[in-house]
Structure 1
Amino acid sequence: MSKQIFRLSLNSTYEESEKVPDFVTEIQEKSQLEEDATGNLMLLLSEAVTNAIVHGNKLDESKKVEVEVHVNSEKIISTVKDQGKGFNPKTTKNPLKEENLLRDSGRGIFLIREISDSMDYLEDGTKIRFSLSR
């Protein structure tokens, strides 16, 4: 299988984030992803896109979120970029600690870190890249 590239550009609204499932379904169909990989990709992209819209772009509809997914026979490499000010990932709190259990943020990054094979922040925290094995 040769490398395939999929792109999605979203405005920073909750409604736009609802395009992620159809985007992942398109990737699954064109790349013949197995169910486990598809489910993980759906969860991770949904979390990353929501974080970019809410925390990165602060729900500013004039700002975009750019999603790019590269699929080859071994891996799925995804990037999600926002137009926000960025952040320092070291400042995020562990959502499993008792004092953070009721916080309404922090779980998305935790899930991405736990489920993906690798995760990096790029461009001062305005871009996340993660990979999954096929």
Structure 2
Amino acid sequence: MAYASHIDQGGLHVVFTAKARNIDRAVAEIEDFVSRNGAWPLFDIKLIVREALLNATLHGGAGHGSHEVSCTVRLVDDAVECTVSDPGPGFDWRARRGRIPPLDAESGRGVCIMEAYADMMEYNAAGNVLRLVKKRGGESCGTPRCQDEAGKTK
């Protein structure tokens, strides 16, 4: 499978082979789906979805070659709910929450970015399913929620 999507009563469902080029396509389709349903903080939604899809694409296969990434986007009351999953073993998300990587790190900022822009973020126990919620009137970025290495909120 390279890329497939459909809309039903449960929302927009996207499944794709974990290739970077499919992330742009999925984010564009999600933006179109959400924007057809009123005014939303699209920058925030696109950013958190892109980060989640990128993490699932890069890390979700546990080194077993090509894998599939799944994403479902639903409009629930006055919020956009996005669930991203991959077949990998997951990761220790508890150790990553609320932490900013060192300034010279080349990666590792995705969880913090999602924390800063999403109104709610929750993983399953294994860490291979992520649910993000962005409310129509939710806070935008700039609300510091992540801590630096010394444990201070930035």
TM-score, normalisation: structure 1: 0.83
The 5 Å alignment of 1:36-47 reads 37-47=41-51
Consecutive unaligned residues in structure 1, runs of 5 or more = none
What displacement does 1:91 show? 2.7
Q: 1:33 aligns with which of 36, 39, 46?
A: 39
The 5 Å alignment of 1:73-92 reads 73-92=77-96
Structure with more relative contact order (C-alpha pairs < 8 Å, separation 6 or more): 1
Q: Give the aligned partner of residue 8 of structure 1.
A: 14
Rounded to whole Å, the distance in 1 between the matches of 2:34 and 2:118 is 17
Q: Give the aligned partner of residue 53 of structure 1.
A: 57
What displacement does 1:18 show? 1.7
Pair 1:87–1:75, CA change in 2 (3 A):
same
Consecutive unaligned residues in structure 2, runs of 5 or more = 1-8, 137-154
What displacement does 1:14 show? 1.0
Q: Is 1:118 aligned to residue 123 of structure 2?
A: no
CA contact (8 A) 2:27 2:49 kept: no
Rounded to whole Å, the distance in 1 between the matches of 2:59 and 2:117 is 21
CA contact (8 A) 2:62 2:89 kept: no
Rounded to whole Å, the distance in 2 between the matches of 1:9 and 1:61 is 16
The 5 Å alignment of 1:91-110 reads 91-92=95-96, 94-95=99-100, 100-110=102-112
Rounded to whole Å, the distance in 2 between the matches of 1:49 and 1:113 is 15
Rounded to whole Å, the distance in 2 between the matches of 1:4 and 1:90 is 29
Pair 1:122–1:73, CA change in 2 (3 A):
same
What displacement does 1:57 show? 2.1
Rounded to whole Å, the distance in 2 between the matches of 1:58 and 1:16 is 19
Aligned residues: 127
Rounded to whole Å, the distance in 1 between the matches of 2:39 and 2:76 is 10
What displacement does 1:55 show? 1.5
TM-score, normalisation: structure 2: 0.73
Larger radius of gyration: 2
Q: 1:91-128 CA deviation, whole Å, 9 max, x = no partner? A: 338225xxx11112221100111111111111510011
Q: Which structure has greater helix proportion? A: 1
Q: Out of 72-81 and 58-67, give the one that drifted further.
A: 58-67
What displacement does 1:59 show? 7.1
